[in-house]
């Protein structure tokens, strides 16, 4: 079958599947799969509270079944008692690694892991940390101080109790909530806050008995699904509901948060929402896009790149690629910012053509976002010659990496040498389509055709990380990114 025909057939079935994932309000189904991490921490809490015997039995059942899986992460294995605690963050090199060591020490002590490592020196929170990370580090300090036998400041305990006593889980993020609970559990004076916080948590238990890092990533995921449908030219009436819902979710600072439950906006969600609104109906949503452009301008760091959450945090390639796409919607008004961002992004590419992976476990995710941003900058603005040359070189390196790492079955994996999966293949096709490098496409389409489910969707291993590097499964992302790839390849 000719490649364009195969792409169209795959895309048609996939579009039909994705349209069914959007509810009457316009939100895509974005439930997060259960994880061992949150389930173990919840199980420990339920063992001390006799009010929830059914929930305790269910989470124990989930954990017993999880022990037989073959996709457990090193963190999962440590929490389930099948690996040494020293291996929990083995090989994790990232600008957040210092904080992650503090976080992991607190998690292991809270979970009662035998021979949990001694708490490292506490990382000091600064003003560049986002809302739940600052609170999470406070909880980690309490847990680690108690484990080390040192004094715990009362103001730390009072701060955490105030966050637990809210009517809903703070920022919609369950892992910090769990750490608040474990930090306060030993202190009788905060029993009311702990009981209330546990009530909120148990209400989110999944049907399989497990718990996860959040109930939904609904703003972020809905924008990705709607973008895929829009790029594929299908489902306009369905995504019109999504556009209205997303526009209403915009925060006062002009950005968007990953879920309406969170107040902390981020460049990642803002990028995906603005790409969708611009593609769907730029005239109708011009005020929202204008406010989003102001948000993106204000987030740019002095090095030219963009962080995820707050200006002053480390610039990241995936965020910078997204910001370039957003500002390139009106290139003449943002020429200075685009040039600085393109220069920075091309300059941080690795020699093999990859970029730091950001919030994904797949190399292709950051490559696609970087390619998207650099192509937008190059295509919408006359870049200075030195920057234009750097951008061209970066795009050539990215294309070369994708072409040489395609597996024999036609797909791509999370990284070179890894087994193929549909979402990584979607990322690769989306990037190659923008680069007009179509030689790998026919065999990639054959790979996808062989793996499309009867309902039109796709299954893939989790590639989103939250917090980095711990995977969280959001099943609808795989079909959405496959459709985005097909849309760039004649689908």
Give the catalytic positions in this structure: 268
- C-alpha–C-alpha distance, residues 336 and 339, integer Å: 5
Q: Helical H runs in 203-285?
A: 218-231, 236-248, 267-280
CA–CA distance from 38 to each of 50, 58, 209, 213 (Å)?
19, 14, 11, 7
Q: How far apart are CA 460 and CA 193, in angstroms?
A: 39
Helix (H, G, I), strand (E, B) or coil at 22: strand
Contact 179, 136 (CB under 8 A): yes
Q: Single out the residue of 381, 257, 285 nearest to residue 327, CA to CA.
A: 381
User: To which H or E segment does residue 471 belong?
Assistant: strand 471-472
Radius of gyration of the chain (CA): 23
How far CA 357 is from CA of 211, 325, 362, in Å, comes to: 26, 18, 7
Tell me the CA distances in angstroms from 306 to 59, 320, 365, one per residue in order.
39, 5, 16
Count of Cβ atoms closer than 10 Å to residue 339 Cβ? 18
Please report how the helices 53-66 and 36-46 are oriented relative to each other, as an axis angle in degrees rounded to 10: 140
Cα distances from 92 to residues 99, 100, 125, 293, in angstroms, run 12, 9, 21, 34
**In sequence order, what DSSP letters do the residues of 437-452 get, joined into one string?**
--TTHHHHHHHHHHH-
Nearest to 104 by CA among 149, 130, 73: 73
Q: Is 2 left (phi over 0), alpha (psi -120 to 50) or beta?
A: beta
Give the list of residues 6+ apart from residue 302 with CB closer than 8 angstroms, or none.
Answer: none
**346 is written with which tokens?**
């091309």
């Amino acid at each position: 079958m000719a490649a364009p025909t195969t792409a169209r057939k795959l895309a048609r079935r996939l579009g039909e599947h994705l349209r069914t994932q959007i509810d009457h309000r316009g939100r895509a189904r974005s439930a997060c799969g259960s994880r061992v991490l949150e389930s173990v921490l919840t199980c420990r809490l339920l063992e001390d509270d006799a009010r929830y015997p059914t929930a305790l039995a269910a989470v124990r059942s989930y954990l017993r079944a999880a022990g037989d899986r073959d996709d457990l992460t090193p963190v999962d294995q440590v929490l389930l008692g099948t690996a040494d605690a020293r291996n929990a963050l083995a090989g994790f090199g990232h600008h957040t690694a210092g904080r992650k060591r503090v976080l992991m020490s607190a998690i292991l002590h809270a979970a009662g892991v035998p021979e949990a490592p001694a708490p490292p020196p506490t990382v000091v929170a600064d003003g560049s940390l986002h809302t739940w990370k600052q609170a999470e580090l406070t909880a980690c300090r309490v847990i680690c101080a108690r484990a080390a036998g040192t004094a715990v400041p009362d103001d730390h305990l009072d701060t955490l109790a105030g966050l637990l006593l809210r009517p809903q889980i703070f920022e919609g993020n369950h892992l910090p909530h769990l750490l608040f609970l474990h930090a306060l559990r030993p202190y009788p004076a905060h029993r009311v806050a702990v009981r209330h916080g546990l009530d909120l948590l148990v209400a989110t238990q999944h049907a399989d008995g497990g718990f996860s890092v959040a109930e939904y990533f609904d703003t972020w995921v809905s924008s990705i699904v709607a973008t895929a449908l829009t790029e594929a030219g299908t489902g306009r009436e369905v995504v019109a509901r999504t556009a209205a819902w997303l526009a209403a979710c915009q925060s006062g600072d002009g950005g968007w948060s990953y879920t309406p439950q969170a107040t902390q906006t981020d460049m990642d969600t803002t990028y995906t929402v603005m790409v969708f609104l611009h593609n769907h109906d730029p005239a109708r949503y011009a005020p929202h896009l204008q406010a989003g452009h102001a948000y993106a301008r204000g987030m740019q760091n002095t090095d030219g790149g963009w962080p995820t959450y707050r200006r002053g945090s480390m610039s990241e390639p995936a965020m910078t690629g997204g910001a370039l796409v957003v500002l390139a919607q009106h290139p003449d008004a943002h020429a200075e910012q685009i040039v600085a961002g393109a220069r920075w992004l091309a300059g941080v590419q690795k020699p093999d053509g990859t970029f730091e992976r950001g919030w994904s476990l797949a190399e292709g995710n950051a490559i696609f976002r970087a390619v998207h941003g650099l192509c937008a900058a190059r295509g919408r603005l006359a870049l200075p010659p030195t920057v234009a040359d750097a951008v061209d070189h970066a795009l050539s390196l990215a294309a070369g990496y994708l072409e040489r790492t395609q597996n024999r079955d036609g797909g791509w994996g999370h990284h070179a040498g890894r087994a193929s999966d549909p979402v990584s293949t979607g990322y690769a096709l989306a990037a190659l389509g923008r680069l007009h490098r179509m030689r790998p496409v026919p065999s990639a389409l054959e790979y996808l055709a062989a793996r499309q489910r009867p309902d039109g969707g796709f299954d893939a291993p989790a590639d989103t990380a939250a917090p980095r590097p711990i995977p969280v499964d959001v099943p609808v992302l795989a079909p959405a990114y496959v459709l985005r790839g097909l849309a760039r390849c004649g689908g």
